[in-house]
Structure 1
């Protein structure tokens, strides 16, 4: 007599793998959710795809990325000799005249690598593009799960090192924001709509960067007694509060950096002139 506690008959019913294996609950329906659970991953995929398409176009355009005193965050710091002249800006020709491609390709690898390996973005594009899993309580279609233990996903573990690279990039973008207080003749005392765009962008860039999980671990990790490290403890609390908004900051900063580049493009291409406040 069957008692319901016997091990599954794997010989006559071999496990198919994943959530459909013989050792899992036998539920015929793919899931029991009745809401529009697919909207969130679909919107995430659409948003990320839109940024990928836009940033790829702008990075390869190699034009209209400087309109005094603004320089696109996609092209700063400009490290190639073929950069547009940026008076007073971080334009270091470390790559000589042999570099014939867009200078944005040199620098974008660091902030994009930081975002690509970010804990939140991993979840976002794993769900949005790979359906792994597509949503909570919805089984993923893959039979096997190897996590991030194999190539290429094992490279996600270098996220901390991209954080180290993202910090100086954010510092340089801060310098660009300070230079945005100059006018077209590079005299100080200017403030235009572009200045506000750059201010909002750099605040969101820093908030997203400092809310990173790696930053939180660097600030307060490996401490056995917070009472003996009051400064680090307070920093850890601050980063922890930012970390609680990491998803929102990730999206806000992604939109703001694209808008900052778009604004410079519109000014540089002559679509309109930068409105000045003083």
Structure 2
């Protein structure tokens, strides 16, 4: 943003009537570092997830029933039949990912997440980029106009995320399989850790906290809901950490299953 001048006042804090300070900020620390790291983290996940979603291969290990969460539920007619635990009814076209029924909702659930909002508002939307750093726009309408008004749908995406977490849990359970019956390998450990972290991230959501304890005037009259509210509140304090950890576990789980499915490596088996 170009510096304002006396005859050409800038937007926002540089507007007419405000203190005329030409610098964008008087901060001397590396205030740009945190937004930059967030941008790079988001970009890494988006690029990886997009590429993997449209490759549409090496997503299922038939021998051990490993199914990557990126493709679950796999309900496209192009999916491997054994990987389609809930049927096949989505057309198999190149522009429609195999997990098209879940992927958009999971992305919207994270996109509208309260933590992610705070992160990309600073790094992408720049409202503001950092404390004490001027915004690059004249007006800010909050979440009352498009596109930010979409943030108000977060609670509904939370319900869908709960259903998808149940599906991922089912996938992790039936993966305890080997050609001879019950089996257990490194892939199972990765799948279980991933689904546990997904549950922790989902349950620690602010919407979940409101659902279990919202609209209560007297906690003493609702001891069960109050107990759940305290547990979710404790998890909620680390919601930021879980948000980033689950991005990592999702990529790790998908990458490991891709390597095993492609024959690049063999699954480390403990039983079966």
Is the TM-score greater than 0.5?
A: yes
Q: How does 1:34-45 map to 2 (within 5 A)?
A: 34-45=28-39
C-alpha deviation, 1:30, in angstroms: 1.9
1:56 to 31, 44, 50: 50
Moved more, 212-221 or 98-107: 98-107
2:24 to 16, 21, 30: 30
Structure 1: runs of 5 or more not aligned: 1-11
Structure 2: runs of 5 or more not aligned: 1-5
1:146 to 141, 162, 167: 141
C-alpha deviation, 1:205, in angstroms: 0.2
Q: Secondary structure at the match of 1:40?
A: helix
Does the CA contact (< 8 Å) of 2:61 and 2:260 recur in 1?
Answer: yes
C-alpha deviation, 1:118, in angstroms: 0.7
Structure-1 residue corresponding to 2:3: none
Sort the Cα spacing of 1:271 and 1:201 in 2 relative to 1 into closer, same or farther, 3 A. same
- Residue 249 in structure 1 maps to residue 242 in structure 2: yes
Does the CA contact (< 8 Å) of 1:41 and 1:124 recur in 2?
Answer: yes
C-alpha deviation, 1:13, in angstroms: 7.4
- Residue 46 in structure 1 maps to residue 4 in structure 2: no
Sort the Cα spacing of 1:193 and 1:127 in 2 relative to 1 into closer, same or farther, 3 A. same
Structure-2 residue corresponding to 1:107: 102
Does the CA contact (< 8 Å) of 1:59 and 1:105 recur in 2?
Answer: no
- Residue 156 in structure 1 maps to residue 151 in structure 2: yes
C-alpha deviation, 1:14, in angstroms: 8.7
Inter-partner Cα distance in structure 2 for 1:276 and 1:212: 35
C-alpha deviation, 1:15, in angstroms: 6.3
Does the CA contact (< 8 Å) of 1:90 and 1:172 recur in 2?
Answer: no
Structure-1 residue corresponding to 2:184: 191
Sort the Cα spacing of 1:195 and 1:159 in 2 relative to 1 into closer, same or farther, 3 A. same
Does the CA contact (< 8 Å) of 2:70 and 2:99 recur in 1?
Answer: yes
Inter-partner Cα distance in structure 2 for 1:275 and 1:14: 67
Per-residue Cα deviation, 1:133-177 (whole angstroms, up to 9, x for no partner): 111222222122121211222111111000010001001101111
- Residue 260 in structure 1 maps to residue 272 in structure 2: no
- Measured on the aligned residues, the alpha-carbon RMSD in Å equals 1.8
Q: Secondary structure at the match of 1:80?
A: coil
Q: Secondary structure at the match of 1:172?
A: helix
Does the CA contact (< 8 Å) of 2:38 and 2:123 recur in 1?
Answer: yes
- Residue 126 in structure 1 maps to residue 143 in structure 2: no
Inter-partner Cα distance in structure 1 for 2:134 and 2:258: 43
- May I ask how many residue pairs the two structures share in their alignment? 262
Sort the Cα spacing of 1:186 and 1:253 in 2 relative to 1 into closer, same or farther, 3 A. farther
User: What is the TM-score normalised by the length of structure 1?
Assistant: 0.89
Structure-2 residue corresponding to 1:220: 213
User: What is the TM-score normalised by the length of structure 2?
Assistant: 0.91
